[in-house]
Copies of this chain bind each other. A is one copy, B any other.
């Protein structure tokens, strides 16, 4: 399985999300926060990936304004392995760019593992195991996505329909499905043939570039213009077509397979999701309360009385008390507040 071609890890750390306000801000988005024990989301992701491909082979794509933060948190990262986006252009340009930089460096035949910088994955050993299966399939020429066995009828994720098993633990992808309505999500869960689309991919550098050439020729052209540059200017980068790799490539390509992950996964998409992932900080006393999340960045005591399904988040500058039912509105609210 491990046949010796180089492996590279590409961490997509370009998120500017404010769904974790007041803890996250545009100056410090979720991937730079220490939500879980052991490090920031970025650090945990890098450590996990380093176990598969080694630190020297890790590449981080981040927003230009966050370059300093990345180097602070990953002081071992070579600056030439830090790709700074002058503006966010979704995942296809980000991934294509990383692939083209690797190709420029003579790594066209290497495999690359692509993943978000802000997901929770546990345990690390199972991540390494699943990655091994995925790398092996990628080396055979497939575009591999890691699929997550659903634990509940989530409506916030895209789904993959599993097809035939082509080798142990590797399945064809019959179809990609957008975020489903609750009824569809329940059906997906019951059939057992649908997996969550985690946004983690493995493929050969040459394989993804070829697929981009076929399905997003405009992107490949634009990437040629970057010529391996890791600090592109805004105008050049802005010209790249802003599509997700799922929509732009994966849904169209024929050689897509899925490796069901053996690890637990959460994208920790909002505060209620953070609660499910075990996020918590600060001393807490609950009275007649349940299903609460407390994150007090300032280390104070928090007492919750008579409430359920709420998140309480305190920082030096603000306090958020939010019913789960409002989690989807937080981004909008926090953006309005930031404007003031």
Which A residues fall within an 8 A CB radius of B?
A: 22, 285, 287-288, 296, 300-307, 310, 312, 314, 316-326, 329-330, 333, 337
Query: Do A330 and B305 touch (CB < 8 A)?
Result: yes
Query: Do B300 and A323 touch (CB < 8 A)?
Result: no
Q: Among A296, A301, A312, A321, find the residue whose CB has the most chain B CB atoms closer than 10 A.
A: A321
Query: Do A301 and B319 touch (CB < 8 A)?
Result: yes
Query: Do A320 and B333 touch (CB < 8 A)?
Result: no
A69 to chain B, nearest CB (A): 24
- Roughly how many angstroms separate A77 CA and B9 CA in the complex, as a whole number? 73
Query: Do A319 and B319 touch (CB < 8 A)?
Result: yes
Query: Do B300 and A333 touch (CB < 8 A)?
Result: no
Chain B residues contacting A320 (CB-CB under 8 Å) are 302-303, 305
A41 to chain B, nearest CB (A): 23
Partner of A301, one of B287, B301, B337: B337
Q: Which residue of B lies closest to A330 (CB)?
A: B305
Partner of A300, one of B285, B305, B319: B319
A314 to chain B, nearest CB (A): 6
Query: Do B300 and A326 touch (CB < 8 A)?
Result: no
A324 to chain B, nearest CB (A): 8
Q: Which residue of B lies closest to A307 (CB)?
A: B323
Query: Do B318 and A301 touch (CB < 8 A)?
Result: yes
Query: Do B305 and A337 touch (CB < 8 A)?
Result: no
Query: Do B321 and A302 touch (CB < 8 A)?
Result: yes
A288 to chain B, nearest CB (A): 6
Partner of A321, one of B316, B318, B321, B333: B321
Chain B residues contacting A310 (CB-CB under 8 Å) are 307, 321
Chain B residues contacting A316 (CB-CB under 8 Å) are 300
Chain B residues contacting A330 (CB-CB under 8 Å) are 305
Q: Which residue of B lies closest to A284 (CB)?
A: B319
Query: Do A337 and B307 touch (CB < 8 A)?
Result: no
- Roughly how many angstroms separate A329 CA and B330 CA in the complex, as a whole number? 31
- Roughly how many angstroms separate A287 CA and B327 CA in the complex, as a whole number? 11
Query: Do B326 and A288 touch (CB < 8 A)?
Result: yes
Chain B residues contacting A326 (CB-CB under 8 Å) are 287-288, 305-306
- 18 residue pairs bridging A and B, Cβ less than 8 Å apart: A22-B301, A287-B333, A288-B323, A288-B326, A300-B316, A300-B319, A301-B319, A302-B321, A303-B318, A303-B322, A304-B322, A305-B321, A305-B322, A306-B326, A307-B307, A307-B323, A312-B321, A319-B319
